[in-house]
Amino acid sequence: MTDLLLRQATTADLDALVRLENLSFDEDRISRRSFRRFLEVPRDRLIVATLAGELVGYALVLMNAATRLARIYSIAVAPSARGRGAGEKLIRAAEQEAVEAGRIVMRLEVREDNQSAIGLYERLGYRQFGTYRDYYEDHGNALRFERRILFYEPSGNFPEVPYYPQTTDFSCGPAALIMAMAALDEGQSLSTLEELKLWREATTIFMLAGHGGCGPHGLALSAWNRGFHASAWISKEGALFKDTVRNEDKKRVLELVHEGFLHDIGQTEIELRHDPLTLDGMERALHQGRIPVILISTWQLNRSRVPHWVTVCAIDDQFVYLHDPEIDVEAGETVADKQYLPIDRRIFDKMSRYGSLQPLQAAVIVGPKREP
């Protein structure tokens, strides 16, 4: 049986691409002129599948210049090539092209009544994240799917960090700290009980709505009290998160808690720095076998302006790799989506600042256990 061959399209494929497009679609067709334009844009990719020298399929991948997203704009397989896995092979080839171009996520749209295509995408790990109403020429709706395609490959340059998901809405700090401590001590407990103990020790009492969150002073103390070296890097002095409450009594409580943390830190050898921790500083810490736990704003991740703790696991020339302890199960997220999550270095620089007027930058670096 003749095998399918995949390669990059050339201008010599134009006639065959147009024929396949007209055979595959009654509406929303890509014109010859558009195919030519896509071929001439070096950032985008047009992959074709051939069978016995005949062009029988294509996948068109668009690379957004401003983001780390790629998008399968169109995919088609001739009837003569169906049943040979051509669609799956084209998708996998498209993903590989996008990975080599430094893209993190692949997205695509599919008609909501195209059950065979939806089944294929779901089998390949894509999940629906939205809907475009009145998307097609016949006013049909399109379902939006995406899949993370770029994953961290351990190099041995940094400690391996186990993953632990937070089990409450308010314990991202303890979960991030647990991961950092577990990277340095195989005996570290990864349990909900330990997570809640840490939250009780490190909470700032009041923050936004609901249960209080944890600040850098409390997290550093919690690590120290469990025998680890610890340092805290905080871009401003004074009680943190005071602007999240309006009641003066609550503000005073935050100030008293802060004074208590400072007193307790004064009884330890925790290094307290009122400077932001730079990316270079994070990378140095990782190379030294220490694990940074960073406060970020989640705006860049989910358009929510909420302070959130994550664990930095690795850094390379392009990305900062995070363990994000929050998994949105209802949105279909899994551990694979939040483990070694690659964040563009420039975007991470924006993420690691909470607040707009005088952004707070806060980090706790957890070091190996101290000598008894």
Contact between residue 168 and residue 178 where contact means Cβ atoms under 8 Å apart: no
Q: What is the model's pLDDT at position 157?
A: 87
Contact between residue 161 and residue 313 where contact means Cβ atoms under 8 Å apart: yes
Domains and CATH numbers, the chain: 4-148 (3.40.630.30), 172-369 (3.90.70.10)
Q: What is the model's pLDDT at position 211?
A: 62
Q: Could you read off the pLDDT tens digit of each residue along the chain, which spans 372 residues?
A: 468 899 999 999 999 999 999 999 988 899 999 999 999 888 899 999 999 899 999 999 998 776 788 999 999 999 988 888 999 999 999 999 999 998 989 999 999 999 999 999 999 999 998 888 888 888 899 999 999 998 887 778 899 999 999 999 999 999 999 999 999 999 999 999 999 999 999 998 765 555 678 999 999 999 999 999 999 999 999 888 777 778 888 888 889 989 999 999 999 999 999 999 999 999 999 999 999 999 998 766 666 667 899 999 999 888 899 999 999 877 667 787 888 888 888 889 888 988 777 788 999 999 999 987
DSSP 82-93: TTTTHHHHHHHH
Q: What is the model's pLDDT at position 1?
A: 42
Distance (Å, rounded) from C-alpha 341 to C-alpha 107? 17
Quote the tokens at residue 170: 């308010």
What are the strands, taking DSSP E only, across the chain?
Answer: 4-8, 45-51, 54-63, 69-77, 105-111, 127-132, 142-148, 228-234, 271-273, 291-297, 307-315, 319-323, 341-344, 362-369
Q: What is the model's pLDDT at position 331?
A: 67
Question: Identity (one letter) of the amino acid at 160?
Answer: E
Q: What backbone torsions phi and psi does residue 273 show, to the nearest 5 degrees?
A: -115, 130
Question: Identity (one letter) of the amino acid at 237?
Answer: E
Mention every residue, 6+ apart, whose C-beta is less than 8 A from residue 95: 106, 147, 149
Minimal CA–CA distance to 221: which of 169, 163, 262?
A: 262
Burial per residue of 16-53, b for 16 or more beta-carbon CB atoms within 10 angstroms, e otherwise: bbbebbeebeeeeebeeeebeebbeeeebbbbbbbbee
Minimal CA–CA distance to 116: which of 139, 92, 82, 69?
A: 82
Which residues does residue 111 pair with via DSSP β-bridges, in sequence order? 142
